[in-house]
Structure 1
Amino acid sequence: MAENHEHGKMDITEQEKTFEGFVKASIWVAGVAIGILVFLAIFNS
């Protein structure tokens, strides 16, 4: 079965879309977390 595999021939468009969504979600979560920390630092004095 392994001898039929050719490197670079697999369709990875779904994996690329999933990874792009993961990166976007991670950026949003990080931004929201930083925003919450800034809010707490300003108003928790």
Structure 2
Amino acid sequence: MEPANDMKAASKTYSGFIASLKWAVPLIALIALIVVIIISG
């Protein structure tokens, strides 16, 4: 296996991970906020 090819695959996986992170982080923050409101309410 060539290192360049390996790097291309890793880069694709990484950009997919970042894309899902853009969705996951606000979603987790929203859930945490709702939980805090429920607890304090």
- Which TM-score band (shorter chain)? 0.5 to 0.7
Q: Gaps (5+ residues) in structure 2?
A: none
Give me the TM-score of the superposition, normalised by structure 1: 0.56
Q: What is the number of equivalent residue pairs in this alignment?
A: 38
- Measured on the aligned residues, the alpha-carbon RMSD in Å equals 1.7
Runs of at least 4 residues of structure 1 off by over 3 A? none
Structure 1 position 20 matched with structure 2 position 7: no
Give me the TM-score of the superposition, normalised by structure 2: 0.59
Q: Gaps (5+ residues) in structure 1?
A: none
* Structure whose residues are more often helix by fraction: 2
Question: In the alignment, which residue of structure 2 is the partner of 1:6?
Answer: 2
